[in-house]
Structure 1
């Protein structure tokens, strides 16, 4: 027996990982307008959130053999799905699907899996930074410029913020080189290399390269010839420490499963809450635009906003017809209007049309 989801427009929105740090934020956004089904390994952990949102909560352990069956209006996957169980069940059941949890290699595999299965409902792979917010804002700037020859994204990670274990899984990739497009040519970039200082929200932040899905998708969707995402931290000492660890080779020799808790503990924090900030620079035809995205409610909330906008996208409830087949967040037919909806959730997007204060 295998997992089975069946599409039913009157059924709940299924949120896998629905009572984790990000999943709980998504549930609170969805709850006022639709019934919800929350799933995870330990349903008892979701009881309080279920009572708060009126959701049903059930067990679906993606690491166990027990199959899962349910009717769903749509699926938002907010937990790592290493064997593509949620993806396969949604596609085979014709259920609109949003995924916000995959690093680049796993997203590439998801594209292949979903395409081979022949989806009849939308499959939105929205694992770009913060649930696809980075790609969506980049697309909105590209729409203003008439294209996006170069996209530079700089992330400020707030060390005081709340984060779930899955949120810092990118730490597992810091010993693995990744393919990027630079000047129209593909090459392998090293994690935490090519460091530079960028002004984000009025403050200088030292940032360095990491592997993120938008560096793969933007050259395919927006014909971007250079796409780069870098990350830095609210604590300059933390940035220096990570760069120093990279210099010692720590992320190479400590790359196995045995060292995963130690790697993730460097950033994983139950936190009291912090501010999410990222900067997107887009250049095209000799002109540039810059946007700084700020969410005072933190990184988990901003990621949930990206997922929530993605849910409306696959349901066709955001003013545009739902997409067909496999798509990425920057492929919205009206990215300017879609990005403007970030403000509905308390997310501020500040535009610098002159593109001043560029990365150096």
Structure 2
């Protein structure tokens, strides 16, 4: 009971920011979306008026647990049937695009001497589904709160830039080709909300294509989380003595955390059409609010001094990764479609 009371203030503040951000998005900034606004409002307030130690327990809970719940609930909103609509070219393009993005993110992150937590979270966030992917990966690779906050902030910032730029770029490259423009947006933009908002700037046909490609990337989350968990444990075991290595290897049963298993189970059940009619809608609603509240909490916990200390190098890393991601997508679309 004491633990619950301790967490309430931080959770309530994060939830209030999420609610306010939702209405700001609805009334004035629909293209940005409530989640992105909640993150940036949280950063501003957390580094000014709400820099309070008493909020720490609640914001830590909201950051960790609510993102996990959001990932699990997301599984009830997608189906494996989406792969059939995309076709083999779409599957090949998505797998290659994600692999190239992850490989480049890891390579560049190491060259710039970022921590393992930062470059793996940036790789997963850009390749899969933004904040949800980062939230799923962070516990598996033992990423600290600082790395998680920085990665989520940069991925959301770059996602916002892509959201606004890709409709223009896609139209310049392919004219009124909805398929190519939809693949470019759905294959690169980070969060689901940003994908839909970006594609909506063109037309409904582009929204359908972009959403299908985004769903396929989300389905791949299970494999990315498992792979990153394995890489982290392997690296840790190589850097420690034999006894500790055995302890780390014994943890391999936890390579796929509960919320990723829940995501997969929900996805399978939804693909078999076993859920009641409104279940997916309810899960989408809850997942969205969990994500918005979690991002508000992450913003409240992010120390801007730490972010600014990495300055130009971090911006170069995030920007370089986005440019590579878009260039790879354009090349693959040209070859396969």
TM-score (norm 1): 0.27
TM-score (norm 2): 0.29
Higher relative contact order (CA 8 A, sep 6+): 2
Query: Which structure's residues are more often helix, by fraction?
Result: 2
